[in-house]
A and B are shown apart, each in its own frame.
Chain A
């Protein structure tokens, strides 16, 4: 049992998928937003396996982990309290930009000058834009839910190829946990709860950007991942049945993500495992 649990694929895919799926199945018929917490619970199980929740030293990876957990808490608060949409939107992109800047702050300080501004400004813009787009998508659940698991899954894959198995496993965990929720949502609609959408998209953005700054994820792959949300604005083709909408949105989001993974694989080679 112990050796099975220490397999990287189990830690990053099977465990978060099972935990998220079990939680969301148990809670979706009571109240859909609670089911949204399944994604962060699956992520937390992977963190427990491959990293930890300690605060010292407070590395960039630990800041990423705590930002995702905080995102789930903020998302759940938004689901519970139902604040005005404008307030949610402003809160999300400010928090996302702040979390990204916080994550790369040591590099901003170390490099200083314009190089530091580029790294810090890039992090802030990248995360804030992704999360803001995710919030715009929420009124159309099929689009937001596709983004919330395809983006972190792709971010995890490029990080794995870009020589950071740890960042890769964190991204994959969010992706596979989100996939479990997406599958549950096909039977019992979740309606894109903020408790899932915010940490999913924020986590995907942070993992991708961290992979570029701290590992070997190429910048073109980072930019391709950023296209996963804008492509979801493409309208459904005429005559395409509405029941197929969720699958159509997943395929759309997966196209730039697949290109990002392919680019990274071509330039970086196989993963370090």
Chain B
């Protein structure tokens, strides 16, 4: 009898511990209406061209207890938007993104290190124009809480990095159109 009770208590302790361990890692689905990747690139040395991608999806995970996380973001290359239709068509063409052949831009983390409650460093791989390269992204301004509009638990952050488009095989009009691109992201996700 004592052995049975001991086994029941042990089982309760193990199963009772699971929800606590699961709560340490929080999973978020990216909110496409409030997540935008932006880029900036030199245009012929005269000015900086800014643009963004309008369609983003994916997910991220934050484990505050262990100070780790993960990110998996997909961007529809065709959603590029620089505010000028003819230029957007040019950017979608084989000269640059070649969106028909490479419709998706993807970033998947390999390691996320949280630095306190408000910043992080994400190491991962960016797949752009059919080429995958390691890219490190710096995250700041992490903020989590209950969204007062939809009452859902939401986390958001800003992130930035720099890449060279030539590393990804996008070499048309170099060096007239800049090689180095600044990327930054405003991301929001709702807990699943």
Bound together: yes
Given known pairs A51-B171, A107-B101, A272-B86, the reply for A167 and B94 (CB within 8 Å) is yes
Is A208 in the interface zone, CB < 8 Å from B? no
Chain A 134-151 interface residues, beta-carbon cutoff 8 Å to B: none
Residue A27 at the B interface, CB < 8 A? no
The A143-174 residues at the B interface (CB cut-off 8 A) are 163-167
In the complex, the answer to whether A164 meets B90 with C-beta atoms within 8 Å is yes
The CA-CA distance from A2 to B87 in the complex, in Å, is 26
Q: B169 an interface residue at 8 Å Cβ cutoff?
A: yes
- B172 near A215 with CB under 8 A, answer no
- In this assembly, does B95 line the interface, its C-beta being within 8 Å of a C-beta of chain A? yes
In the bound complex, how far is the Cα of B169 from the Cα of A59, in angstroms?
Answer: 9
Does A243 sit at the interface, judged by CB under 8 A? Answer: no
A-B pairs under 8 A by CB, number: 66
User: Whole-angstrom distance from the CB of B132 to the nearest CB of chain A?
Assistant: 10
Asked if B51 is at the interface of the complex by the 8 Å CB criterion, the answer is: no
A residues within 8 A CB of B176? Answer: 6
Closest B residue, CB atoms, query A105 = B101
| Chain B positions 165 through 176: 1 when the CB is less than 8 Å from some CB of chain A, otherwise 0 | 000010111001
B129 contacts across to A, CB distance below 8 A:
57, 59
Q: Does B93 contact A (CB under 8 A)?
A: yes
Q: Which residues of B contact A270 (CB under 8 A)?
A: 86
Give which listed residue, A57, A107, A165, A269, contacts B95 with CB less than 8 A. A165
A119 (CB) vs chain B CBs: closest residue: B100
Q: Judge if B131 is at the interface, Cβ distance under 8 Å.
A: yes
In the bound complex, what is the Cα–Cα distance between A14 and B90 (angstroms)?
A: 24
Interface residues of B in 82-135 (CB under 8 A from A): 86-87, 89-90, 92-95, 98, 100-101, 103, 129-131
Q: Return A169 CB to nearest CB of chain B, in Å.
A: 9
CB distance from A185 to the nearest CB of B (A): 32
How close is B164's CB to chain A, nearest CB, in angstroms?
A: 15
Name A43-82 residues within 8 Å CB distance of B: 50-52, 56-57, 59-61
Task: Note all chain A residues with C-beta closer than 8 A to B92.
Answer: 163
Q: Which residues of A contact B173 (CB under 8 A)?
A: 165
How many residues of chain A are within 8 Å of chain B by beta carbon? 25
The answer to whether A61 touches B103, judged by C-beta atoms less than 8 angstroms apart, is no
B89 contact from A57, A60, A163, Cβ within 8 A: A163
- Does A214 lie within 8 Å of B86, measured CB to CB? no
Q: Which of B95, B169, B172 contacts A56 (CB 8 A)?
A: B169
Number of B interface residues at 8 Å Cβ cutoff, please give it. Answer: 20
Q: Which of B89, B100, B131 contacts A107 (CB 8 A)?
A: B100
Is the beta-carbon distance between B103 and A110 smaller than 8 angstroms?
yes
Nearest neighbor of B129 in chain A, beta-carbon distance: A57
B96 to chain A, nearest CB (A): 9
**Bound CA span A215–B90, Å:** 8
- Once bound together, how far apart are the Cα atoms of A86 and B60, in whole Å? 61
- Chain B residue at minimal CB-CB distance from A215: B93
Residue of B93, B98, B129 with most chain A CB atoms under a 10 A cut-off? B93
- A1 CB to nearest B CB, Å: 16
Q: Is the CB–CB distance between A272 and B94 below 8 Å?
A: no
Please provide the chain A residues from 102 to 120 with a CB less than 8 Å away from any CB of chain B in the complex: 106-107, 110
Residues of A within 8 A of B98 (CB): 59-61, 214
Q: Could you say which of B87, B93, B103, B169 contacts A166, with CB atoms under 8 Å apart?
A: B93
Q: Are B86 and A57 in contact (CB under 8 A)?
A: no
Closest A residue by C-beta to B90 = A272
Contact A57-B93, Cβ < 8 Å, known A107-B101, A214-B100, A214-B101: no
Q: Can you spell out 24 A-B residue pairs with CB atoms less than 8 angstroms apart?
A: A50-B172, A51-B171, A52-B171, A56-B169, A57-B129, A57-B131, A59-B94, A59-B129, A59-B130, A60-B98, A61-B94, A106-B101, A164-B93, A166-B95, A166-B172, A167-B93, A167-B95, A213-B100, A214-B94, A214-B101, A215-B93, A216-B89, A272-B87, A272-B90
Rank and list the top 8 A-B pairs by shortest CB-CB distance, nearest first.
A272-B90, A163-B89, A164-B93, A57-B130, A166-B95, A215-B93, A57-B169, A61-B94
13 extra A-B contacts, CB within 8 A, seeds A214-B98, A215-B89? A57-B129, A59-B129, A60-B94, A61-B94, A107-B101, A164-B90, A164-B93, A164-B94, A164-B95, A166-B95, A167-B93, A213-B100, A272-B93
